[in-house]
Amino acid sequence: MLLLLLLQISGSCLWLGRSEVVTSFESSCPQFFFKETPPNEALEPNSPARICQRYKNQYYFATLYDRDRRIPVYSAYLYQPGSGKRPKTWMVEPQLMGSVYPSTMEREWTLLNYFSVTSEQLSKSQAVLKDYKNLTGLNRGHLNPSGHHPDNSSRTATFTLTNIVPQNEKLNGGAWKNYEQQTMIKETQGCATTYVVVGAVPGNNYIANGRVNKPSHLWSGVCCEMDNDEKKAWAVIAENDRNNIQLITLGELEEMLTKLYGRDQVSLFDRDCPRE
C-alpha cells in the first residue's frame, strides 16, 4: 500500500494538470458562465459528469461530459485569444473512473504506468486516443479551441479528450475554423468579457466500434459584456457532415437545440443575455 501511494505521488509530479469531476458548476467553477449561470438541464444526458478543467492549479474551463456516449455535451470558457504554439500532448480524466482516482488531468501513459490503471478501466469510462485512430473523413474536433486562450498553460488544458468530438474534417478545417479564427475576432470588437459555450448534439452514428458518438450538429453560443456596459450575443450551428455554418441569434440557437433535443426549452445563458 505504501509503495502504491509513493507511485501515485511520483506520477502526479510528472504532470501538474488537474481537473475535477464535481457535483455543481455553480459551487466549483462558476466563473466560466455569464452571471455564474450554466445552461439549464434541457441538455443534460442520462449519465452526466461535470468537469472543472484545471491545469497547474488553475481552472481554465468547464465541461459537461456524456459518460454513455463518451463525448462532451458542451464546454464553457472565457474567450481570451493569444498567439503561441499548438500543444501536442493529449490527456484524459481519471475521476471519470471513480472518485477514488486522482483529481488530475493526466496522460494515458502516466495512468497506466503509475496508477495501476488498466486500459480496460480507462476506456470503459471515457474516450481514449485509440478511439480516434484511423478515422476516415473525421478528426478530433475541439469544442473549446486552444487558439481561444492566451498562453501555453491555458492552451494545453484544452487538450483533454473530454473536450473532443469526432468532427467532419472539412468542417473542422474549413467553415468552423474560419468562425473560430476570423468571425470571433470580428464579432468580439468592443467586448470587455466574452463568455462562450460550445456544444455537440448527439447523433445516430458512432466510431470506434460503437464506443464514441458522432454528433449530428456542432454549435456555439456567445454572450458579450461590452465596454459600455451593454450586452450582445450571437451563435452558430453546423451540421457535422458538411462544410457550412449558420450565423444566427442566441434565441434562434436555443430554439433549434430545443427541437433537436426534443425536451424542455433550452437556455444557454442567464436571461440578461440578449436573445435577439
155-213 pLDDT, tens digit each: 999 999 999 999 999 999 999 999 999 999 999 999 999 999 999 999 999 999 999 99
Q: What is the pLDDT of residues 217-233, one digit of tens each?
A: 999 999 999 988 899 99
Compute the distance between CA of residue 61 and CA of residue 68 in angstroms, rounded to an integer. Answer: 22
Residue 51 has pLDDT above 90, yes or no: yes
Q: Is the pLDDT score of 19 beyond 70?
A: no
SS3 per-residue string spanning 27-91: HHCHHHCHHHCCCCHHHCCCCEEEEEEEECCEEEEEEEEECCCCEEEEEEEECCCCCCCCCCCCE
d(CA 257, CA 49): 20
- Output the CA torsion sign for 5, 9, 14, 18: positive
The model's pLDDT over 65-92, given as tens digits with 9 standing for 90+, comes to: 999 999 999 999 999 999 888 999 999 9
Task: Look at 112 and 17; give whichever has higher pLDDT.
Answer: 112
Report pLDDT for 207.
98
Around Cβ 235, how many Cβ atoms within 10 Å?
23
- Evaluate if pTM is beyond 0.85: yes
CB-based contact 131:211 (threshold 8 Å): yes
Please name the residue that has the C-alpha cell 424542455: 264
State pLDDT tens for residues 245-265: 999 999 999 999 999 999 999
